Amino acid sequence: MTSGQRSLVGMSMLAAGLLLVLAAAGIAWSGVQRWLAVSETRDALEMLRRDRVADARKLAAKASARVPDEVAPALLALDTADLDAVERIEAIAARGTSRADRETAHAAMALARVAKGKAAGFDLEGSADGRLLAAMAAANAGRDPGRLKPVDGEAPPHLNVLRAAHTVLLRRAWQAGKVSEVRAHAGALLLLRPRAPEAPLMHLLVGAGSALLPDAEAIKLCEAVKQEQEAAIRAVAALLPQRRAAIAARWPKAVEGLP
């Protein structure tokens, strides 16, 4: 091999090596970005579980900027009150390869639309999401949502849809004075999130709404409610006339003026 040929081989190797190193660096960079995004998404979910919604959204937005084609961080970063932002999720969902991701995105978009009094906009027939959103829409329109009876073989509901539906239906049942429905929805919310800030109130509704719980125990549950305690206890006294005497003995103002 002549020195010219050796130089040619060397230069070719150097060029190929540089290309490979650049490719490796690119793969490594995208891998690290993905890893950071996964880590941030996981932290955002943990924050959501602790009701730090604003912090979770901020962190999820950071993760979404790292992996713009991924549905999970984009959904976590989403402000559902902003319908334009909700519509943008559709484009990300369309790019998503996972069917579960697409279904989650569609459920989130449908929930945001129904919460704003609009049509769901997706065919969610055969899924629990569709059934729950229809009940929510009926409740919001002042119609009877009927009972939330599960249907065999339907796709399970998404967590946010389930929570939103139970919350809306609980509010409606409370306004209508339907104690058994209030207990059922409060029980579902309590089992879903037993450590949520509103859990003590759900516990109170489930307990005080049961004729089997003694008044003294119901009062203990009232004492455990910390969020807007006075208003909550007054609302419970209004819903449950049979508990009024016990509540009046401890919080006389809470029952003042109730019929």
Q: Which of 40, 41, 201, 233 binds other proteins (CB under 8 A)?
A: 41
Both structure tokens of 246: 């016990």
Span from 79-87, 194-202, 232-240, 242-250 in contact with other proteins (CB under 8 A)? 194-202
* Residue 144 C-beta: closest distance to other proteins, Å: 20
* Calpha distance 107→184 (Å, rounded): 23
* Residue 18 C-beta: closest distance to other proteins, Å: 10
Is residue 159 near other proteins by the rule CB under 8 A? yes
Using alpha carbons, select from 96, 97, 111, 94 the residue that is nearest to residue 157: 111
Is residue 53 near other proteins by the rule CB under 8 A? no
* Calpha distance 60→54 (Å, rounded): 10
Q: How many chain residues interact with other proteins (CB under 8 A)?
A: 56
Side chain identity, residue 220: K
CA dihedral angle for residue 183, residue 185, residue 191, residue 192, rounded to 10 degrees: -160
Please check whether residue 76 is in contact with residue 62, taking contact to mean a CB–CB distance below 8 angstroms.
no
Q: What is the DSSP string of 89-117?
A: HHHHHHH---HHHHHHHHHHHHHHHHHTT
Span from 62-70, 116-124, 211-219, 242-250 in contact with other proteins (CB under 8 A)? 211-219
Q: Which of 11, 15, 17, 98 binds other proteins (CB under 8 A)?
A: 17
Chain contacts with other proteins (rule: CB under 8 A): 1, 6, 9, 13, 17, 20-21, 23-25, 27-28, 31-32, 34-35, 38-39, 41-43, 45-46, 49, 100, 103-104, 128, 150, 154-159, 162, 183-184, 187-196, 203, 206-207, 210, 212-214, 217
